[in-house]
Homo-oligomer: A and B are copies of this chain.
Amino acid sequence: MKQAKKKIFQEFIAAKGLKSTRQRDIILDVFLSSDRHLSIEELYLKLRAKHPGIGYATVYRTLKLFAESGIAREIHFGDGQTRYEHLAAGEHHDHLVCTGCGTIVEFENEAIEQLQDEIAAGYGFLIKNHKLELYGLCAKCRG
């Protein structure tokens, strides 16, 4: 599935008339083998550890391309940091965020998605995507 995403990205690059570069390969590789929900800063530091030559701007630019190509999604948890998570085609999930320790849990719920579509339809909207985040305290932090 890592290979599948790499292939999708290569095709995206080719279709756009862009070029395949050493940096993009490295960033994609490190990105795909990282935890999900990594902030750009965290990914940059991880990259720098093995590949000191890679610049900040390149990481930003490349992550945007990942999102554009569909293999990644940008997420904001309101802490001022942008995060990207890698995503399989068609996959979708929402987040539970612990405001105590920062733990992030992913979940999927078909019933909620369906309700959303119904609500949207009621207002004449055609939903393209959505964002659902639940903020609270995890079991540990509830004390």
Task: Give residues of chain A (105-143) contacting chain B, Cβ–Cβ below 8 Å.
Answer: 105, 107, 109, 111-112, 115-116, 119-120, 123-139, 142
Contact B128 A136 (CB under 8 A): yes
Give A40-66 interface residues, CB cut-off 8 Å to B: none
* Chain B residues in 8 Å Cβ range of A137: 125-126, 128
A34 contacts the other chain (Cβ, under 8 Å)? no
Cβ–Cβ contact A119 & B128, under 8 A: no
In the assembled complex, A8 has its CB within 8 A of some CB on chain B: no
Tell me if A132 and B135 are in contact (CB < 8 A).
Answer: no
* A126 partner residues in chain B, CB cutoff 8 A: 136-137, 142
Which chain B residues lie closer than 8 Å to A87 at the CB level?
none
